[in-house]
Amino acid sequence: MKVEPRTLPGFMELLPNEQIQFNAMVDKIRKSYEKFGFLPIDTPIIENAAVLLAKAGGETEKQIYRFNKGENDLALRFDLTVPLAKYVTEYYNDITFPFKRYQIGKVYRGERPQKGRYREFYQCDIDIIGEGTLSIINDAEMPSVIYTTIKELGFNDFTIRINNRKILNGLYMELGLEEKSVDIMRIIDKIDKIGKENVEKCLEDLEVEPEKIDKIMTFIGIEGTTDEKIQKLKALNFKNELFIKGVDELSEVVKYVRYFGVPDDNFKVDLTIARGLDYYTGTVYETFLNDYREVGSVCSGGRYDNLTEYYSDRKMSGVGVSIGLTRLFYKLNELNIIREKEKSIAKVLVVSMTTNINRALEVGAIFRNNNINTDVYSEDKKIKAKFKYADKLRIPFVAIIGEDEEKNGTVSLKNMETGEQEELKIEEAVKKLCS
Amino acid sequence: MKVEPRTLPGFMELLPNEQIQFNAMVDKIRKSYEKFGFLPIDTPIIENAAVLLAKAGGETEKQIYRFNKGENDLALRFDLTVPLAKYVTEYYNDITFPFKRYQIGKVYRGERPQKGRYREFYQCDIDIIGEGTLSIINDAEMPSVIYTTIKELGFNDFTIRINNRKILNGLYMELGLEEKSVDIMRIIDKIDKIGKENVEKCLEDLEVEPEKIDKIMTFIGIEGTTDEKIQKLKALNFKNELFIKGVDELSEVVKYVRYFGVPDDNFKVDLTIARGLDYYTGTVYETFLNDYREVGSVCSGGRYDNLTEYYSDRKMSGVGVSIGLTRLFYKLNELNIIREKEKSIAKVLVVSMTTNINRALEVGAIFRNNNINTDVYSEDKKIKAKFKYADKLRIPFVAIIGEDEEKNGTVSLKNMETGEQEELKIEEAVKKLCS
């Protein structure tokens, strides 16, 4: 009896040519994170369930992959933030603060599988963790990293939206709506999807008084340039201290974001974003590709006050953002806008026109010694099959070795795109392939 | 109540400076695999238990992480070969053969944890899969990839040991010992550890007749150069067809390995190696660092006739090798011979001598635009703390910006190793940092 070789639903598995494109995106994200000096870490996928669930609850707990092995109650990580909290607490004495780390890895959530939702997916996270406090300048570094990364991925028209939870929370305190603030933020977060009118309706349903709804709508309706918005926030003249602090922070972040070199075209203040997760306490970010709003936010995050509260009395604050790469790749693929050119791994395929492959192997070795990714076709197939192989793998050059080439110490190098072919000395072929 | 933030035993978790070294090794392995045109794939870590266990049994089944989620019987992959078998069967129609793939990823085995044994560890695999048959030249490509990879990792004195299971199986057929062949190979495999005499004793315990023990010992005692060994194998004049086929294959592999450019210093025929796993049917490999034999084989593998027999009637033969990177890293670290220099992610740390950080942020942006990995110290700490940060992270340069530098449009670039410091125009600093 044969077993049916089926990959589980909700698990992305790519063909090699797609995998090449996916890996190119990972490489670019990593390169961009390293450009800012973030350090790599790689935590286990399996952890003690008690460690992962120290803070979780609700949906997370339902979705988590949890199981026993021997006497151990284990679980698969569902994000990279909880393992980071564990890591900084566990290795506190060996870590240099502020701790700038990146981690790119798979996380697991047993969601009901649906189009574009994955149970195993890559997150690409950066965070800066401070001992106790952490300068607001770090909040401005995040948009700079996002800017560099999204550019590196090949996009130009995107907007990093920045807000500050203190402003929102201050507003609700000012209005005496603290208890409803989480619900209100959830409603406002949907404004792009459901529109202003529906936001008002939802707020009515929540039994927010009409004059307070007016104030909220005025607040989230603040328009203008980034600087104008900040002016208008200040002009509201709210006395709530948290609100004032939030506006100050936002204004600082904007100032420093500019020193970091992020153009005004690529970021803006957006008073409607809150980021659902309750651990954000200050600056929050979302990033949208303006031509592809349907992709959703491609890079989000924010500032949190106490990363390690479930593990330690030591207070660690931080700020971070994350790219959900598996979903992003799926969406870009679906939209047919993967910005990687079709790429091959090998730059050249060496094929022998005769039954003697020895010279082809030697030439392959020479190419590789010159740092050229080189495949040698070694099956005993017709020449047509050899070219078809190069074609299917999109290898840009084929180096042909027949009797003449072997005698002359040359190869005939064929450009698979243009069809051009020329007989070259090995050194000349190397030069051409390196260019 | 705080939860204790503990990583599970048997799970490697590195500090950032070690992680940098680990990642450098991964990068080199990947680069070397790609130099031969191997294509990347990335299969899920979770699979249907039935798929993973189609062929397993014994130890594997005991060690596997297996659990239910909803109604699904799931398991974590314990190697990258079974997922490859699944992959080539599942995507058969979309794959170009011969299929050269690499996969670098974590696998899971719930072994009893002990020093240097991990429950989560990286395997770095390459395989070439043929439809039906696969040329023997591919068996010679493996040592060439191993050679390139181990060199790339910084080692020169290593030996790739090559044998052929057909020779061993043919020998036991010739001697009428087929039924005991697996046990005999297991014993001989230990010859390096237990010595010749103990091998003889073990064979006696297995009730192998004395004259047959003599023949076995003569066989595994064959000495000389690679070519002499092959000559002596031929001179044994065994009539068994499998034996003859094996010697022919071995001799072909040796011939082609040389065309691939592997020096005779770095490979040899070793008639004692068999590789325990029963699926190998031809060429087998092990690789030892000659100065560090205690590390064990750093790269092993072999040829198999029927990769997908549990999933499909279609016959797929292949050849592959694997590097167990987590264990290798552990061992090299323990021996203090990680060949990576101590590396940092950032090439330069920009620090401000004044309370005004704006210029430091601008200079950081200029450096990054010139592709220099750059960290800017943005906490409000004493200058000593800033240098200590650079020191701990082993960042080789600090770019200092005081009032003078800001006025002059310069930085004072300090080489952290030599202590030298010079005031440079930004373009000059860029040039120096890029060199």
pLDDT at B278: 67
Residue of B2, B8, B66 lying closest to A310 (CB–CB): B2
Residue of B nearest to A82 (CA): B5
Q: Contact, B63 vs B111, CB < 8 A?
A: yes
pLDDT at A340: 62
Contacts of A135 in chain B (CB under 8 A): 378-380
Q: Does A85 touch chain B (CB under 8 A)?
A: yes
- In 10 A of CB A399, how many CB atoms? 26
Contacts of A12 in chain B (CB under 8 A): 44
Contacts of A13 in chain B (CB under 8 A): 41-44, 87
Chain A: nearest CA to B291, how far in angstroms? 25
CB contact under 8 A, A34 and B106: no
The enclosing H or E element of B287 equals strand B280-289
**Residue B55 half-sphere exposure, CB side, CA atoms within 13 Å?**
19
pLDDT at A72: 92
CA distance A321 to A102: 10
Location of each CATH 3.30.930.10 domain in chain B? 8-157+291-339
Work out the pLDDT band at B341, boundaries 50, 70, 90.
low
Q: Does B337 touch chain A (CB under 8 A)?
A: no
Closest to B48 measured CA to CA, from B25, B68, B24: B68
Contacts of B90 in chain A (CB under 8 A): 5-7
CB contact under 8 A, B37 and A374: yes
Best A61, A68, A312, A345 member to test B by mutation, with max B CBs in 10 Å, is A345
Pairs across A and B, CB distance < 8 A: 268
pTM: 0.96
Chain B: nearest CA to A259, how far in angstroms? 5
CB contact under 8 A, A46 and B373: no
CB contact under 8 A, A14 and B65: no
- In CATH terms, the fold of domain A1-131+306-343 is BirA Bifunctional Protein; domain 2 (3.30.930)
Q: Does A24 touch chain B (CB under 8 A)?
A: no
CA distance B140 to B146: 10
Chain A: nearest CA to B421, how far in angstroms? 22
What tokens were used for A104? 């790119």
Q: Name the CATH code of domain B8-157+291-339 (choices 3.40.309.10, 3.10.690.10, 3.30.930.10, 3.40.50.970).
A: 3.30.930.10
CB contact under 8 A, A23 and B40: yes
Q: A253's torsion region: left (phi>0), alpha (psi -120 to 50) or beta? A: alpha
Q: Contact, B334 vs B296, CB < 8 A?
A: no
Residue of A nearest to B8 (CA): A47
CB contact under 8 A, B37 and A349: yes
Work out the pLDDT band at B186, boundaries 50, 70, 90.
confident
Location of each CATH 3.30.930.10 domain in chain A? 1-131+306-343
Location of each CATH 3.40.50.800 domain in chain B? 348-434
B200-246 pLDDT tens trace: 999 999 999 999 999 999 999 999 999 999 999 999 999 999 999 99
- Which DSSP string corresponds to A69-100? ETTEEEEE-S-SHHHHHHHHHHTGGGPPSSEE
Q: Does B369 touch chain A (CB under 8 A)?
A: yes
Contacts of A90 in chain B (CB under 8 A): 5-7
CB contact under 8 A, B2 and A312: yes
Chain B: nearest CA to A274, how far in angstroms? 26
Contacts of A130 in chain B (CB under 8 A): 379
Which residue's entry shows tokens 């651990």? A279
Q: Contact, B403 vs B353, CB < 8 A?
A: yes
CB contact under 8 A, A15 and B130: no
CB contact under 8 A, B8 and A44: yes
Residue of B nearest to A139 (CA): B378
Q: Which of A281-290, A311-320, B185-194 has the lowest mean pLDDT?
A: B185-194
Residue of B4, B44, B256 lying closest to A8 (CB–CB): B44
CB contact under 8 A, B23 and A3: no
Kindly state the average pLDDT of the residues B360-378.
Answer: 98
Work out the pLDDT band at B1, boundaries 50, 70, 90.
confident
pLDDT at B189: 82
Chain A: nearest CA to B66, how far in angstroms? 8
Q: Does B6 touch chain A (CB under 8 A)?
A: yes
Quote the CATH superfamily of domain A348-434.
Anticodon-binding domain (3.40.50.800)
Work out the pLDDT band at B27, boundaries 50, 70, 90.
very high
In sequence order, the 6+-apart residues with CB closer than 8 A to the CB of B165 are B246, B274, B275, B280, B281, B282, B283, B284, B302, B303
CB contact under 8 A, A361 and B108: no
CB contact under 8 A, B36 and A68: no
B257-267 pLDDT tens trace: 999 999 999 99
pLDDT of residue A290 exceeding 80, the answer is yes
Q: pLDDT > 90: what percent of chain B? A: 86
Q: Does B418 touch chain A (CB under 8 A)?
A: no
Position A142: which residue type? M
pLDDT at A192: 83
pLDDT of residue B11 exceeding 80, the answer is yes
Kindly state the average pLDDT of the residues A266-281.
Answer: 87
- In 10 A of CB A186, how many CB atoms? 13
pLDDT at B37: 98
CB contact under 8 A, B42 and A19: yes
CB contact under 8 A, A138 and B378: yes
A 256-315 near B (Cβ less than 8 A): 256, 259-261, 308, 310-313
B 207-246 near A (Cβ less than 8 A): none
B55-66 pLDDT tens trace: 766 677 889 999
CB contact under 8 A, A40 and B16: yes
Best B1, B8, B310 member to test A by mutation, with max A CBs in 10 Å, is B8
Q: Contact, A304 vs A319, CB < 8 A?
A: yes
Residue of A nearest to B38 (CA): A345
CA distance B284 to B294: 20
CB contact under 8 A, B373 and A259: no
Best B17, B368, B372, B393 member to test A by mutation, with max A CBs in 10 Å, is B368
pLDDT at B24: 95
Residue of A47, A311, A373 lying closest to B37 (CB–CB): A373
B38-97 pLDDT tens trace: 999 999 999 999 999 987 666 778 899 999 998 899 999 999 999 999 999 999 999 999
Q: Does A10 touch chain B (CB under 8 A)?
A: no
In sequence order, the 6+-apart residues with CB closer than 8 A to the CB of B176 are none
Chain A: nearest CA to B388, how far in angstroms? 9
CB contact under 8 A, A357 and B137: yes
Chain B: nearest CA to A331, how far in angstroms? 19
pLDDT at A277: 64
Work out the pLDDT band at A341, boundaries 50, 70, 90.
low
Residue of A nearest to B15 (CA): A41
Q: pLDDT > 70: what percent of chain A? A: 98
Which residue's entry shows tokens 């402003």? A167
What tokens were used for B240? 């068994």
B110-165 pLDDT tens trace: 988 788 889 999 999 999 999 989 999 999 999 999 999 999 999 999 999 999 99
CB contact under 8 A, B364 and A106: no
| Alpha carbon distances (Å) from B257 to A412, B147, B250, B254, B299 | 24, 10, 10, 5, 16
Q: Is B189 exposed, middle or buried (0-12, 13-18, 19+ CB in 10 A)?
A: middle
Q: Does A108 touch chain B (CB under 8 A)?
A: yes
A 114-173 near B (Cβ less than 8 A): 119-120, 130, 134-135, 137-138, 140-141, 144, 148
